[in-house]
Chains A and B, each alone.
Chain A
Amino acid sequence: MTTGRSDSARRSVRPLLLAGLLGLWVAMPPLVLAQPDLDEQVRLVAAQLRCPVCQNLSVADSPSEMAREMRGVIREQLQAGKTVEEIKAYFLSKYGDWILLSPRPRGLSLLVWIGPFAAAAAGIAVAVLAVRRWARRARARERPAGDPALVARVRQDAFSPDAEVQAKDPERLSPLELERETLYAALREFEFDYRSGKLSSADYEALREEYEHRAALVLGELERVRLSPVPQAPVPGSPAPAQPAAQAVPPRRRWRLVTAGVFLLAFGLSLGYFLSQSLRPRMGEQDTLTGDFLTGTGPGGIAPRSWSPERNVATLLASGRAAYERQDWRAAIDAFKQALALDPGNAEAHTFLGLILLAAGHGDDALRPVERALAKDPGYPLALWAKGVVLFEAKEDYAGAIAAWESLMARNLPPADADQVAQMLTEARKRLAAQAARPSRAAMAAATITGTVSLAPSLRPEVPVGAALFIIARRGDGPPLAVKRIADPVLPVSFSLGPEDRMLRGVPFEGEVTLLAQLKRDGKAGPPADGDLEGRAAGPVKVGRRDVEIVLDRAH
């Protein structure tokens, strides 16, 4: 029992000693004893530098071309008589702190140096405190409520002069009395150690409390023996800890254990999952691993971060552009609409939607999204460019196109783009001049066909919303020369078909054509489907006629 004190003292000292040794071992710099040969010296310097290519290897270990070149520089500088520190300073001045494998202890890097030791010390302190608290609680639980009167007697007896006399004559004492004297002796020893400073006051308090308690129990037992007529078997030396109680884990603690277990399991699973997700084979070297998106280094440098809306818009725009390039209009529209859902004012997405509409043949509607982009950012070059293209291609508004492109040219454009815009400007000016020189309105009228489309009395279908009437002019059986689309027509409807409806610019709209009218329920150009109506003008029609009658008389 007397060894209890030194045991517990050793227990609290040992981890601290261990931590100290560990710290010493970690912090100890590698000893440089003798001057090694040049190769060894190069390796020594290179081992302290981080390779810019592979970052997780030192310049000494990296097989990369850059590391080889760096070792060459180190060798040269060593041969020139520079010291290791001077060479390190050289690399530091070129690449900054990044190049050092063990960062200099200053600034944020200081955290790297102090952090682990501080954390270890804090951890040990917390663990020691926790263990002591648990031990005290366990003792308190084991202890039946102590009799304060008996404890007071223990205090009195242990330090009374006769107590020491009694202890000198152990043969005459019963085992219980012997136990009591041993405890008293221990209490006196604690008192002495505490006064002489060998024991901290906290340790002293804890030990004193425990031994006083034990002694009080022994005293209580002695009282009982003295009072009862029946002699009792001697009680075992130390108060028996409640063994069965220790085995039956209280329900609350069991729940804690289960919770901790579940938490650990979840932690392990998520760690395993995310770790495997954040690794990928290094490009070019399939047998080595490197960090992936979770560490911020995806295959193309920084990976897109899906949780950041800006990134998401950027990726959507990129995929939209790619789809636009390969003329996959549907995918492009999807991507740009999604981008707009995230960022309703995104000028690039608006502009591209306009360009897509133009490319898909809806030139009339293409201007609106482009104008929206310009409303957001009046100087946005792509939108200025697109506005010019839409006006030029779809509206034949060359003056407007010229205005848009001129304001584009006023910006600082890359030369390749500037060249292209200049070319388009020249072309637009040419066309504007041609337009101005073009024959008058009367002559324009001479180049159009007008008339009405009506429904045969035998057919009375309703015209669904979204339906469209197409009036198609062909030369003979050739491809459509000019097409007019009338959305949601109310029959009979009048129409005019002129040069502005031509499918191919440059092919004149003149001479004789055949006219076909199609009422398409789905409103889309293409071969007729069920329920669509069709009708033809009688015979070839000369461009310039004004009273063409087309009757829709055929149902599909």
Chain B
Amino acid sequence: MAWRRFLIVLAVVGPLLALLAYGFTRNPREIPSPLRGKPAPPFTLTLFDGSTLRLEDLRGKVVFLNFWASWCPPCRAEARTLEAAWQKYKDREVVFLGIDIQDTEEDARTFLREFGITYPNGRDPSGKIAIDYGVWGLPETFFIDREGRITYKHVGGIGWQSITAKLEEALRGIVSSQEGKGDYRQIR
């Protein structure tokens, strides 16, 4: 009788504890993106040099799309690596594109000057593009293949090896099975 009662209690308490333990292993701030493998939401971006750029016009090229803000430390940390990667890939049908969100134009321009960034960048003052891409942490990077499909998403600072590996995959149209993560800052 006693062992039966014990078994019953175990059958009730065990799954509850397991559920609790599972909950503790998860970070409630992380928002897994449903966009991987889906077509990249189109947008028109006004660049800092005054010209406009439509994402659709970049069809046929791989797009490295990076959301950033001047106040976000991991964005500063990765800025030089991004520019170096752009220098390496700019002749290879790859376009780097930066979108500055939740920022002032002045701060953003200072940031671009400070890190000597030469690839096209623009501001998203209303946050509409960021919401369209489900951005929640900064920096966030999307890799878009020639057909305009998102092949990989990386939240947080991205390293040289990830950039090169994922660009090569995007060039071949391979969709990653997982998101990447680095040190990130919550959007404001």
Contacts and interface: CB of A to CB of B under 8 A. Distances in A.
Interface of A: 52-53, 55, 64-66, 69-70, 72-73, 92-96, 98-99, 111, 291, 294-297, 301-302, 412-416
Contacts of B132: 94
Contact of A94 (B35, B161, B186): B35
Contacts of B130: 69
A69 B31 contact: no
Contacts of B31: 52, 95-96, 98-99
Interface centre among B28, B87, B131, B132, by most A CB within 10 Å? B131
A159 B31 CA distance: 73
B102 A96 contact: no
A296 B133 CA distance: 26
Interface of B: 19, 24-29, 31-35, 80-81, 84, 87-88, 102, 126-128, 130-134, 136, 159-161, 164, 184, 186-188
B66 to A, nearest CB: 17
A53 B187 contact: yes
Given A65-B188, A94-B131, A415-B160, A296 B27 contact: yes
A301 B27 contact: yes
Contacts of B26: 296
Contacts of A416: 80-81, 84
Given A69-B131, A296-B28, A94 B188 contact: no
A291 B26 CA distance: 13
A336 to B, nearest CB: 22
A538 B27 CA distance: 73
Contacts of A94: 34-35, 131-134
B37 to A, nearest CB: 13
24 contacts: A52-B136, A52-B187, A53-B136, A53-B187, A55-B29, A66-B102, A66-B127, A66-B136, A69-B128, A69-B131, A73-B131, A92-B34, A93-B34, A94-B34, A94-B131, A94-B133, A95-B34, A98-B32, A295-B24, A297-B27, A297-B28, A412-B160, A414-B84, A415-B84
Given A55-B28, A69-B127, A291-B28, 4 more contacts: A53-B187, A53-B188, A66-B127, A301-B184
Contacts of B188: 53, 64-66
Given A52-B187, A415-B160, A416-B80, A69 B126 contact: yes
Contact of A66 (B29, B159, B187): B187
A296 B29 CA distance: 9
A412 B34 contact: no
Nearest to A296: B27
B89 to A, nearest CB: 12
B27 A95 contact: no
User: What 8 A-B pairs have minimum CB-CB distances, sorted nearest first?
Assistant: A69-B127, A414-B160, A94-B134, A52-B136, A415-B84, A96-B34, A65-B188, A98-B31
A95 B80 CA distance: 29
B162 to A, nearest CB: 11
A413 B132 CA distance: 34
Given A53-B187, A53-B188, A302 B160 contact: no
B15 to A, nearest CB: 10
A296 B20 CA distance: 12
B100 to A, nearest CB: 14
A96 B84 contact: no
B13 to A, nearest CB: 13
Contact of A53 (B34, B88, B159, B186): B186
B75 to A, nearest CB: 15
A96 B126 contact: no
B97 to A, nearest CB: 19
A393 to B, nearest CB: 27
